[in-house]
Amino acid sequence: MVIIGAGHAGTQAAIELRNQGWLGTITLIGKEELLPYERPPLSKAVLKGSDKPSPTFILNEELLKEYQLELIGKSTVTRINRPTHMVQLSDGRELHYERLLLALGANPRQLNLEGSDTSGALYLRTFLDALQIRARLVPGQHVVVVGGGFIGLEVAASARELGCTVTLIEAAPRILMRGVPAELATVLEARHRAAGVKFKIGVGINRIESSPTGHNIIMADGDIFNCAAFIVGIGAVPEIALASACGLAIDNGIRVDHHLATSDPDIFAAGDCCSFPHPIFGGRRIRLEAWSNAQEQGLHVARSMLGICEAYQEVPWFWSDQYEMTLQMAGMPDLGAVCIERVGLEENQLYFHFTEEGRLVGASGIGPAISKDIRYAQLLIRQRLTMSPSAFSSPDLKLKSLLITK
């Protein structure tokens, strides 16, 4: 079993292969120098925590030994030879596989405008990126964050908490345009404004110039923001180069089927790099960039690689921490035609998203009191029942009571 990509999905798959009883070799190949680690803390604790941040490791040397995993770190796979079942490493080594897993993740989308290639823009994906950004978050200095998605907002919150002056630029008409209900985006924006973040929304950047004090970000409407550093979070692009070079099907990432197999039955993919059909959402093909998806697909794909054929149908779940607030989303809120707010939750917000036929397809909210309901909503979404949406506004409705237990 050969796994390319020693991130979250790849590591979970390696462990699960052993837990499922695979006795042969498991080789995990990763570009990065560090042992596998978690990415969510990079935009939060690593940026604003102790002076000497350390990664939150998923595996350590003892676990590698215990699970008898062979980890080849600091190594890039440069080619997959499908007819011979060989992969080639950057140092020239070749490895044979019986089954191959591509858990290659995604890369930050790059700014593409005048001056951006020479501008020293900072991007966040790896622990080393986080250390670089952290070194530039100097209290009192002006930092510009480009992109009002989750990474941008989390970086903005961390930078404010460190005492930087922060301007966040978003070209779309509002922050969190992709997949997050406008009501929740409004709550988060208000929290950022209360913390002192300045927003420039609905206007694109024209070009970037160096200045004696850092950079000038020149906006399409003529505004200029001078800053000591600027961090770009404008989405991520799935890593597909290896897969497309060896002729695997690509469709918004590496295309996999219900079992997470690619168009080659001996090659599988999991995590941020792949798109898959979701049976709960009518077979709609989706690609997720979320910790729980990497976790669940890592476990699932290991079983598929061993020939256990079950369709992957975990209901998506995502969280984001900004200041003291935690946003959570389950299912696919953007597929909902009807949005019902649960009333009477004081400081918390909770929304349920239904199709026109009354099928729950998503739940989203902010606040400590919503976690249990988000969890039950995930289970209800999985059961695909038709319900009466209006009943969900009542704080007295116990979601657990709607679940069908076998």
Nearest distance, CB of residue 25 and ligand FAD, angstroms: 17
Contact range with ligand FAD by CB under 6 A, out of 27-35, 49-57, 139-147, 363-371: 27-35
- For the chain, report the end-to-end CA distance as a whole number of angstroms: 37
Each residue 57-96 as x (binds ligand FAD by CB under 6 A) or -, in order, gives: -------------------xx-------------------
318 makes contact with ligand FAD (CB under 6 A): yes
Shortest Cβ 53–ligand FAD spacing (Å): 13
- Tokens read off for 16: 């699960």
Please give the Cα distance from 362 to 333 (Å, whole number): 4
Decide if residue 124 touches ligand FAD (CB under 6 A).
Answer: yes
User: Binding residue for ligand FAD (CB under 6 A) from 262, 320, 328, 378?
Assistant: 320
Q: Position of tokens 């054929």?
A: 309
If 0-12 CB within 10 Å is exposed, 13-18 middle and 19+ buried, where does residue 67 land? Answer: middle
Q: Do 291 and 11 touch, CB atoms closer than 8 A? A: no
What string of DSSP letters covers 124-187? Answer: -SSHHHHHHHHHH--TTSEEEEE--SHHHHHHHHHHHHTT-EEEEEESSSSSSTTTS-HHHHHH
The pattern of x and - marking residues 90 through 109 that bind ligand FAD according to CB under 6 A reads -------------xxx----
- Nearest approach in angstroms of CB 367 to ligand FAD is 16
Q: Which of 1, 4, 246, 267 binds ligand FAD (CB under 6 A)?
A: 4
Contact segment (CB under 6 A) with ligand FAD among 6-14, 178-186, 329-337, 380-388 equals 6-14
d(CA 16, CA 18): 5
* Residue 29 found at the interface with ligand FAD (CB under 6 A): yes
Task: Point out the residue whose Cβ comes nearest to ligand FAD.
Answer: 7
Binding segment toward ligand FAD, per CB under 6 A, in 288-296, 357-365, 373-381, 382-390:
288-296
How far apart are the C-alpha atoms of 154 and 6, rounded to whole Å?
24
335-351 burial, b at 16+ Cβ within 10 Å, e below that, comes to: bbebbbebeebeeebbb
Contact between 31 and ligand FAD by CB under 6 A: the answer reads yes
Using CB under 6 A, list all residues that contact ligand FAD.
4-10, 29-32, 39-40, 42-43, 76-77, 103-105, 124-125, 151, 239, 242, 271-273, 289-292, 294, 318-320
